[in-house]
Amino acid sequence: MKKNTQLIHAGRGKKWTGSAVNPPIVRASTIVFETMEELKNASKNKGNAVPYYGRRGTATHFAFQEAMCELEGGAGCALYPCGAAAISGALLAFLKAGDHLLMVDTAYEPTRGLCEKVLAGLGIETSYYDPLLGAEIKTLIRPNTKVIFLESPGSLTMEVQDIPAICQVAKAHNIITMLDNTWASPILCRPFELGVDISIQAATKYIIGHSDVMLGTASANEQHWPQLREQSYLLGYCASPDDVYQASRGLRTLGVRLKQHEKNALEVAEWLAQRPEVETVRHPAFPEHPGHPFFQRDFNGSNGLFSFVLKQGSAAQVQAFIEGMQHFKMGFSWGGYESLITAVPNVQALRSVTHWPYAGPLLRLHIGLEDPEDLLADLEQAFARMALA
Ligand SMILES: *Cc1c(COP(=O)(O)O)cnc(C)c1O
């Protein structure tokens, strides 16, 4: 089956949907059993699509988990109340006091915060590595290195990592690899084929796609699924069936939405690259982009999220650029149908081991499903406001 067909069918088997098109919303804390035998069997099955207790999920969750496994290629998928919880849940499921974590230097900022403010307190040490390190990551491995965490493309600056090279080194050293795969969504990259052990999604972004629900997923291969499932359950992570229903629903249009985000974003990115005020555009599909060969090899497309760097711009100029925009709203998150903008005045402050070579401010855009002509007009006016500020 090709990707768009798979998105239509994933997790929509008759056992979940009955005679409806979509799996129903099943709300439950208590699951009731007729016989002792039934309860015993359900307890042995712990979360493998057998109802046992609400925290382990209902048919709504099982249908979505099955869909995610089909799309990403994992053996099982744990659900979390948001993407940040999926990251903490996956890391806490495998790390213990005395372990060492190798974290990519371009990680999502709250992931760094988790390492420094939560994991450090539990006796887990984090060191950061350059996102453009491939097999050379082996020089950073210590005897107690337990997990290598990847995020590709990197947050804000979009460096693309050599995922297979890192995973190969990790496997040789018995180290678990986790990938924050949110940018790719479940369809632009096949993390398990690249050797990743655990793939994490902020479903809040493109899976949900409408900026109105928070949800996270972590999918694991056969070897790591039992531990991820059990530990996440013990930590108490679960998600509302109403939210999970919206995620299942989001999958059906993910393919067409991403195609349009990709097309619109490339148009805007190419326009920005021609502007005299712009130092550089950070888009993985651009040939000069750091890690572009890995992007070409491992991804089958791009989306609406990229950034660009201004040659110069004071705080007042950036303010003038952003305030007064009609279509680009200022705010966090991305992956909804609408365009967004955020400014990052100091990228270097978010990096520990890599040097950010640009002095001007970085602006990150999420390009929505509006007509690109309107977005370009909005940006044109923003540059004009900036020039006057
Ligand atoms: C948004 C985001 C997260 C966190 O997801 P939430 O659902 O907001 O908690 C994690 N990783 C990346 C790359 C993100 O963009």
Alpha carbon of 319 to ligand 1 centroid (Å): 25
C-alpha torsion angle, residues 254, 260, 264, 267 (rounded to 10): 120
- Please report the atom of ligand 1 found closest to the CA of residue 214: 7
User: Confidence class of residue 46 from pLDDT cuts 50, 70 and 90?
Assistant: low
The whole-model pTM stands at 0.97
Per residue in 259-277, pLDDT tens? Answer: 999 999 999 999 999 999 9
- The residues assigned a catalytic role are 55, 108, 180, 205
Alpha carbon of 216 to ligand 1 centroid (Å): 8
Q: Is 336 in the pocket of ligand 1 (CB under 6 A)?
A: no
User: Confidence class of residue 203 from pLDDT cuts 50, 70 and 90?
Assistant: very high
- Residue pointed to by tokens 């890599």: 354
Positive or negative torsion for Cα 257, 262, 264, 265: positive
Assigned token pair, 172? 């040789």
Q: Is 182 in the pocket of ligand 1 (CB under 6 A)?
A: yes
- Residue pointed to by tokens 């712990």: 46
pLDDT(320) > 80:
yes
Distance CA 90, CA 105 (A): 19
Q: Is 58 in the pocket of ligand 1 (CB under 6 A)?
A: no
Name which of 254, 298, 289, 257 is nearest 270 in CA terms. 289
Per residue in 110-136, pLDDT tens? Answer: 999 999 999 999 999 999 999 999 999
Distance CA 122, CA 227 (A): 19
Select the CATH number that applies to the domain covering 254-388 from these four: 3.90.1150.10, 3.20.20.70, 2.60.120.650, 3.90.1150.140.
3.90.1150.10
Q: Is 178 in the pocket of ligand 1 (CB under 6 A)?
A: no
Q: Does domain 3-250 have CATH number 3.40.640.10?
A: yes
Domain assignments of the chain as residue spans, ordered by start:
3-250, 254-388
Amino acid, res. 211: S
Alpha carbon of 30 to ligand 1 centroid (Å): 31
Q: Is 204 in the pocket of ligand 1 (CB under 6 A)?
A: yes
CB atoms within 10 A of CB 293: 11
Q: Over the chain, what is the mean pLDDT?
A: 97
For residue 197, the model assigns a pLDDT of 98
User: Confidence class of residue 215 from pLDDT cuts 50, 70 and 90?
Assistant: very high
* 172 vs 45 pLDDT, higher one: 172
